[in-house]
Structure 1
């Protein structure tokens, strides 16, 4: 049996494969349950400290583990499932549950014993004071 070659169909298949490749590469990593493994983060650097903001909605402060070294921050936690039953015999939920963890390297050494944290409305704010020698110091150089 002969079949007619359809270049448009081949192009559409190739386009779909490329879209899937870019979606998997650029999207946040997800586990099999669909839960994002890496919470969104924003890192800003000031003269005296590094400020790290992470988006971890739906968690209580007790469910978040923060470990800080002089050059990295490790955040982990877990969203736990609550089972509900409906009168019709099934429950539909679009909430996603699971574990996450993220290690964020820092651009400079910090005083990890003086880190402060604040957690409000699903946003974790860490203030990471720089070590004295890591602060930007301006030194005047004289030319003779």
Structure 2
């Protein structure tokens, strides 16, 4: 039986190559990077208050759809065309389409939703459906 010398850094290099190959297949270049806005939801007795972080968007670029138990927000962030004199251009902003579907913890009246967009935050007030407002659930104790 031949003895083989263990080289731990070679294993790290192999792992790094495999990880790079994995990320290249998932998101080739920057085109595969997707944006999903962060969200917060507050449950009050009368309504659900949903806030989404969508900075740099205009209201005409947002599409909001509300069903009885989900909210879907989609849109497109368009890039500005700029030219650089030295031939070098770098950006860390993300451009392109996004969509976020958020399941709601209670049924809402989707015909009475109010929306406000200010300082990059989209705020939705979703009034609860009448049957969910005064819903009392009996809990059995064993």
TM over 0.5: yes
Partner residue of 1:44?
42
Which of 97, 100, 118 is equivalent to 1:99?
97
Maintained 8 Å contact 1:71/1:110: yes
Deviates more, 1:36-45 or 1:95-104: 36-45
Name the CA shift for 1:15/1:44 in 2 (closer, same or farther; >3 Å).
farther
Q: Paired residues, what number?
A: 130
Q: TM-score, normalised by structure 2?
A: 0.75
Name the CA shift for 1:130/1:14 in 2 (closer, same or farther; >3 Å).
farther
Partner residue of 1:142?
none
Q: Deviations for 1:85-122, whole angstroms, at most 9, x for unmatched residues?
A: 12223322222201100111111111100000010111
Partner residue of 1:130?
128
Secondary structure of 2:111's counterpart equals helix
Which of 76, 79, 86 is equivalent to 2:77?
79
CA separation in 2, counterparts of 1:90 and 1:14? Answer: 32
Unaligned 5+ segments in structure 2 are: 138-142
Report the CA distance between 1:34 and its aligned residue: 5.8
Secondary structure of 1:114's counterpart equals coil
CA separation in 1, counterparts of 2:89 and 2:50? Answer: 37
Partner residue of 1:55?
53
Secondary structure of 2:131's counterpart equals helix
Report the CA distance between 1:8 and its aligned residue: 6.5
Secondary structure of 2:100's counterpart equals strand
CA separation in 1, counterparts of 2:74 and 2:106? Answer: 22
Q: Deviations for 1:4-33, whole angstroms, at most 9, x for unmatched residues?
A: 2135654x569869xx6xxx9xxxxx8953
Q: Supply the RMSD in Å over aligned alpha carbons.
A: 3.1
Q: TM-score, normalised by structure 1?
A: 0.74
